[in-house]
Amino acid sequence: MEKLTIEGGGALKGEINVSGMKNSALPIIFATILLKGDSVIKNIPLVSDVLNSLEILREMGAKITVLDSHSVLINTDNISSEIKAHALISKMRASSYLMGTMLARFGHAELPMPGGCNFGVRPIEQHLKGFSLLGAVCNEENDFVLISTKNPLKSTKITLDKISVGATINIVLASLFIEGVTVIENVAVEPHVDDLIHFLNSAGAKIIRYGRRIFCEGVKQLHGVEYEIYPDMIEALTYLTYVGATGGEIVLKNTNTAHLSYVLDIFSKMGADVGITEREVKFRAYRALDGANVTTAPYPLFPTDLHPQFASLLCFSKNGGIIKEGIFPTRFAYVGELQKMGACMKQGNGYIEVLPSKLHSATVNATDLRAGAALICAALATHGVSTINNVNYIVRGYEDLTNKISSLGGKIKLLKGEQ
Ligand code: EPZ
C-alpha cells in the first residue's frame, strides 16, 4: 500500500497551477454518454476517480483517447446499453451519474449501488424520486439499482426534499431528451453543477438555472464538443489551509476566485493577507492565524469538502474554533488520526471543537479523500517526519500532489509498496 512521508515544520512558499475540478470532470465524462460524435474534454485532472470513470466507459465500448496530460477524446456512439465494470462502479459515488445518463439514452439502467468516501450512509432516494416523477420505475435489489421506463419519460416539476449535488446532476441528465420543460426546484448550485450545465448547453442542450431552480427543455440530440473544465475550488482552498498552517505564501494560478470568495473572506478575517485577480490568489500568512467558527453548508457557503483540512489548520491557529458539519454529520473519521499527532479536539453531535495544539509527528491513516488532505496539512506544519498510510484515498482527488507540495518547499515523499 502506498504511503507518504512528510518532514514538516518549514514554511511553504511558491506558486501552483490549480488543476481541473474532479467533481466537474466526473459528471461531464459520464454525460458524454448522451452526446453523439467525438468530444474533447480539456483541463481534466488525471486523478484516480477520473481514470476509473474513463475505464468504466471504455469497458462499455466507448472510444477513449488521451490526447495530452490534461485532454481526453471521448466517443460513446457505440457503447453497450449494459453497464459493466461493476467493481469500479461500487467504489465511486460519481458512477451514480450512470443512472441518469443510461435512463435518458437507453430507457434503463442496472448498476451496483454507487460507492464513495466512507463517511456514513450515502442515500440516493432524491435521485430515485426525480426519476420516478419523470415516469421511470426504480427498484433497489441486492445492492443493485434497477431503473427502467416502458414509455417515454414525461416532463414535470420536481422539488427536491434536500439540496443534493448528485441528485441535481442526475435529474438534469435524465431530463435532457424529454419533450417539454422539466423544472427542478431546490437544486444544488455548486460550481460543478454550473460547469456541467455549461458543458451540456455547448453540446446543444437547453438548460437554464435561476437560483435554486433549473429549467430543462428537452432536445432531440446532443452533439460532441470541445470543452474546458472549471478549476478545482477544493484543491485551491486545500493548498491555502496548508500555507495557513505552516506559514509562508503561495500564488494559486488558473483558479476561479469567484468560487472561493466565501472562504477567502474567512481567511482574511483570520489574519491572512489575501489578494485576488479573476484567475489568481496571492495568499500570505507569516504569523499564526486567528481561529474561526464555521458551519458547513451547500454552496456558496463553507464547503463540507474543506472541513477536515480546516480542522487541521485550526490546530495551528492562535485560538482554535468550532466546525459544525451541516452536510455529512459523520464526517469525523479524521479526528482520531489528528489526535494521534496530539491534536486537542472535542467532538460533539455534528461538530468538532479544535483547541490550539502542539502536534508531534506520527504514523497516521487516511480514512477518506479529504481526511487524507487534512493529515497532509498537519504533517507539513509539524516538526519531524510523519507517515500517512492509504494514499490511494488522497490521489482520488489531488493531482500531482507530491510535485506540487515539493515545488512549495514541502519535504514529501511517496513510498510505494512495503518500503
Ligand atoms: C458530492 O457528493 C461530492 N462528490 C462530494 O465530494 C461533496 O462532499 C458533496 O457533493 C457535497 O458538496 C462528487 O461530486 C463526486 P450530495 P454527493 O448529494 O452528490 C444527502 C469529495 O470529497 N442526500 O450533495 O453524494 C447526503 O447524504 C466528495 O470530493 C440524501 O439524503 O453529495 C448528504 O447529507 C466527498 N439523499 C447531503 O444530502 C440523496 O438522495 C448532500 O449530499 C442524496 C443526498
Could you tell me the CATH number of the domain that includes residue 167? Answer: 3.65.10.10
Rounded to 5 degrees, φ, ψ at 318 are -70, -35
Position 114 scores a pLDDT of: 83
Pick the last residue of a domain from 181, 198, 228. Answer: 228
Q: Are residues 302 and 402 in the same domain?
A: yes
Position 122 scores a pLDDT of: 81
Rounded to 5, what percent of the chain is helix, strand, coil?
Answer: 35, 30, 40
Q: How far is the CA of 370 from the centre of ligand 1 (A)?
A: 13
The answer to whether residue 240 sits within a structural domain is yes
Q: Are residues 157 and 235 in the same domain?
A: no
Q: Are residues 214 and 246 in the same domain?
A: no
Domain range spanning residue 403? 3-15+231-415
* Closest atom of ligand 1 to CA, residue 328: 34
Pick the last residue of a domain from 172, 206, 228. Answer: 228
Look up residue 18 and give its amino acid: V
Is 0.95 topped by the overall pTM?
A: yes
Q: Are residues 145 and 83 in the same domain?
A: yes
Of 93, 97, 118, 132, the residue with max ligand 1 atoms within 8 A of its CB, to mutate for a pocket test, comes to 93
The answer to whether residue 129 sits within a structural domain is yes
Position 418 scores a pLDDT of: 61
Other beta carbons within 10 angstroms of residue 379's beta carbon come to 31
Q: Are residues 246 and 196 in the same domain?
A: no
Classify residue 179 by its DSSP letter. S
Q: Are residues 235 and 183 in the same domain?
A: no
User: Residue 90 forms beta bridges with which residues?
Assistant: none
Q: Read off the C-alpha cell for 325.
A: 458539519
The answer to whether residue 20 sits within a structural domain is no
The answer to whether residue 310 sits within a structural domain is yes
Position 419 scores a pLDDT of: 56
Q: Are residues 220 and 255 in the same domain?
A: no
Count how many domains the chain has.
2
| Parallel, antiparallel or unpaired: strands 294-295 and 3-8 | unpaired
Q: Are residues 276 and 376 in the same domain?
A: yes
Q: Are residues 100 and 202 in the same domain?
A: yes
> Would the CB of 42 count as within 6 Å of ligand 1?
no
> Would the CB of 102 count as within 6 Å of ligand 1?
no
> Would the CB of 382 count as within 6 Å of ligand 1?
no
Q: Given strand 137-141, what is the order of strands in its sheet?
A: 108-112, 144-148, 137-141
Position 250 scores a pLDDT of: 98
> Would the CB of 397 count as within 6 Å of ligand 1?
yes
Position 213 scores a pLDDT of: 98
Q: Are residues 216 and 236 in the same domain?
A: no
Low-confidence ranges of the chain (pLDDT < 70): 418-419
Q: Are residues 404 and 270 in the same domain?
A: yes
What pLDDT, in 10s, does the model give residues 351-361? Answer: 999 999 999 99
Position 337 scores a pLDDT of: 98
Q: Are residues 56 and 163 in the same domain?
A: yes
What pLDDT, in 10s, does the model give residues 299-324? Answer: 999 999 999 999 999 999 999 999 99
Pick the last residue of a domain from 210, 228, 246. Answer: 228
